Amino acid sequence: AKTLRLILGDQLNLQHRWFARADKDVYYTLLEVKQEQEYVHQHVQKIMAFFAAMRNFAHQLEKAGHQVIYIKLDDDHNTHDFEKNIKRLIKEYHFERFEYQLPDEYRLDEQLRNLCLDLKIEAAAADTEHFYTSRDDLKNFFGDRKSYLMESFYRNMRVKYGIMMNDKDPIGDRWNFDAENRKKYDGKVPLPRPLVHKHNLSELKQMIDQMGVSYFGRVGEKHFEWPLSRKEALESLRYFCKNLLPHFGTYEDAMLQNHASLFHSRLSFALNTKMISPREVVSAVLAAWDQDREHISIAQVEGYVRQVIGWREFMRGVYWAQMPGYAELNYFNHKTKLPGWYWTGETKMNCLNKCINQSLDLAWAHHIQRLMVIGNFSMLMGAHPDEVDAWYLGVYIDAIQWVEITNTRGMSQFADGGIVGSKPYASSAAYINRMSDYCKHCHYDYKKKYGEGACPFNSLYWNFLDAHRDKFGKNPRMGMVYKNLNNMNPEELQRILEQAEDYLGRLEEL
């Protein structure tokens, strides 16, 4: 039957069985629609990256002999949502069958399911053939349990897929090398430059501007750095294995104000658009380790594999187990709006200034910048999780709801009350000072809890703990911090709480 197959912007998987051979009855369509630019206010680089990668993908398909109907944002016939465009194409080309790949996002999943019910032709959905796990694997693994433990999911993944295993035991006899990893950067090993892919996307940017798409963030005049094709994604993967993997784990939590990504792989956009698969990434990392055990220790490899087969697949499973209710959770009943400097970076708090400016420049930050600086502050200031989600979903190049919301609302804001993590990722300036060089260059004093120039993270941290004694006072993982809080001189605590109140009353000025 004459078939129309839809490919979404995050389904750029050239290895998919759909593309094994060209078929004269099959047409592929990729649609640049305003619907996807407007559901959340986005970074200009995120919009550009998706369009550019989609255009490259369409070109690859055509080169391989497939028939492609590509609708650009400024095409006259573009109706700017999926339903209308698809219905029009079906009519115009007399398609007899419609197929799509299962979206990773709840919103699109519903939309496409409803569309199919409405169509007068046969319709079917196919798997994306990208993830290790299916949507429901995590739900089946944990059953009715109220919280999910990443560590048990991860160990099960290692066993199930035989990754770094000696029969039933983990290679190296340990599952976790965190004790060796997560060090502050000490300058002992040189920092390699990140691999940047140079594209000139000025025409695409012009089209986005002409079409009146609203966006925020910045983009360089001449260059655009992200991998936008499978070829470039594979180059980034090779570069990572050779130059960055040897120190990935050791410095995975370190932050530097003059080096955005340290030893991180910057593969999240390529992975989330499915230009490369997690299996390819894991195989490449394991092969690199096999070839060079002298320079690459098991701690580096385990640290990386944990992110890809552990956290990434875990978050996707949590998403499908918990949506749509997850998007409404607000455990602390936080209500505050984010201050305006989240969109400009203009704050005197150096850590936030650097992490936000970096996010505005690159549409990317690494996990500790997202978690322990921006996310931590958002939670301590009592930001509404809807606001925080919208910011993260908009700003990061790799942000797609299944992986954004679980990390942001769950891991970083604890708005899910502990489904993803067993305690909130809250910290004072001590942690930020330990893991970065931000505090050295800051207007505020990381050692001071109150008074002139006191670092806001400190008073807000104790204020947060004090306000939630009922929730965490008995949490065994927070025993130490509550002991410290309980031993605090009441007058000192009073001054800290007053300082917090003062800062909360003038967030815009901080």
Residues of this chain that interact with ligand FAD (CB under 6 A) are 264-268, 271-272, 307-308, 311-312, 315, 366-367, 370-371, 375, 392, 396, 398-399, 403-404, 407-408, 411-412
Residue 265 or 350: the one with the smaller Cβ distance to ligand FAD is 265
For the bound state, the minimum distance from the C-beta of residue 248 to ligand SF4, rounded and expressed in Å, comes to 25
Q: Which helix (H) or strand (E) holds 497?
A: helix 490-504
The gap from C-alpha 170 to its chain's centroid, in whole angstroms, comes to 28
CB of 434 to ligand SF4, least distance (A): 10
Residue 463 touches which of ligand SF4, ligand FAD, none (Cβ within 5-8 Å per kind): none
Residue 73, C-beta contacts closer than 8 angstroms, at least 6 positions apart = 32, 33, 34, 51, 207, 208, 211, 213
Q: How far is the CB of 220 from ligand SF4 (least distance, A)?
A: 26
State the binding partner of 404 from ligand SF4, ligand FAD, none, CB within 5 to 8 A by kind: ligand FAD
Counting contacts by CB under 6 A, is residue 58 touching ligand SF4? no
Select the binding partner of residue 351 from ligand SF4, ligand FAD, none (C-beta < 5 to 8 A, by kind): ligand SF4
Q: Which helix (H) or strand (E) holds 104?
A: none
Tokens matching residue 102: 């299962």
The 3-state secondary structure of 178-220, one letter per residue: CCCCCCCCCCCCCCCCCCCCCECCHHHHHHHHHCCCCEECCCC
Q: Which does 350 bind (CB under 5 to 8 A by kind): ligand FAD, ligand SF4, none?
A: ligand SF4
| Exposure of 64 in the CB half-sphere (CA atoms within 13 A) | 18
50 in contact with ligand SF4 (CB under 6 A): no
CB of 438 to ligand SF4, least distance (A): 4
- Which positions from 456 to 475 touch ligand SF4 by CB under 6 A, shown as an x/- string? -x------------------
- With CB under 5 to 8 Å by kind, the binding choice for 272 among ligand SF4, ligand FAD, none is ligand FAD
Based on the shown chain and the rule CB under 6 A, indicate whether residue 429 belongs to the binding site for ligand SF4. yes
Residue for token digits 């918990």?
Answer: 322
Task: Report if residue 446 touches ligand SF4, rule: CB under 6 A.
Answer: yes
What does 349 bind: ligand FAD, ligand SF4, none (CB cut-off 5 to 8 Å by kind)?
ligand SF4
# of chain residues touching ligand SF4 (CB under 6 A) = 13
- Told to check if 444 binds ligand SF4 by CB under 6 A, we report yes
Q: Is 433 in the site for ligand SF4 (CB under 6 A)?
A: yes
Q: How far is the CB of 449 from ligand SF4 (least distance, A)?
A: 11
**Rounded alpha-carbon distances, angstroms, from residue 400 to 39, 75, 271, 272, 307:** 12, 25, 11, 8, 17
Per the structure block, which two tokens stand in for 399? 């942000």
- Judged by beta carbon distances under 5 to 8 A according to partner kind, the member of ligand SF4, ligand FAD, none in contact with residue 433 is ligand SF4
* Contact predicate 384/330, CB 8 Å: yes
| Contact (Cβ atoms closer than 8 angstroms) between residue 451 and residue 357 | no
Of residues 250 and 433, the one with the C-beta less far from ligand SF4: 433
Residue 59's SS3 state is: helix
The footprint of ligand SF4 on residues 329-358 (CB under 6 A) is 349-351
Among ligand SF4, ligand FAD, none, partner that 312 touches (CB below 5 to 8 angstroms by kind) = ligand FAD
439 interacts with ligand SF4 by CB under 6 A: yes
Task: Report how far residue 51's alpha carbon sits from residue 457's, in angstroms, rounded to the nearest whole number.
Answer: 39
Token pair, residue 210, equals: 């002409």
The Cβ-side half-sphere exposure at 370, using a 13 Å CA radius, reads: 27
Round to whole Å and give the CA distance between 472 and 38.
39
What residues does 99 pair with on adjacent strands? Answer: 5, 124
Minimum distance of ligand FAD from residue 278's CB (angstroms)? 8
Residue with smaller CB distance to ligand SF4, 71 or 460: 460
Supply the DSSP string of 322-365, one letter for each residue.
HTTGGGG--TT---BPPPGGGGT---S-HHHHHHHHHHHHHS--
Q: Does residue 38 contact residue 50 with C-beta atoms inside 8 Å?
A: no
Does 300 participate in binding ligand SF4 (rule CB under 6 A)?
Answer: no
Instruction: Enumerate binding residues for ligand SF4 (CB under 6 A).
Output: 349-351, 429, 432-433, 438-439, 442, 444, 446, 455, 457
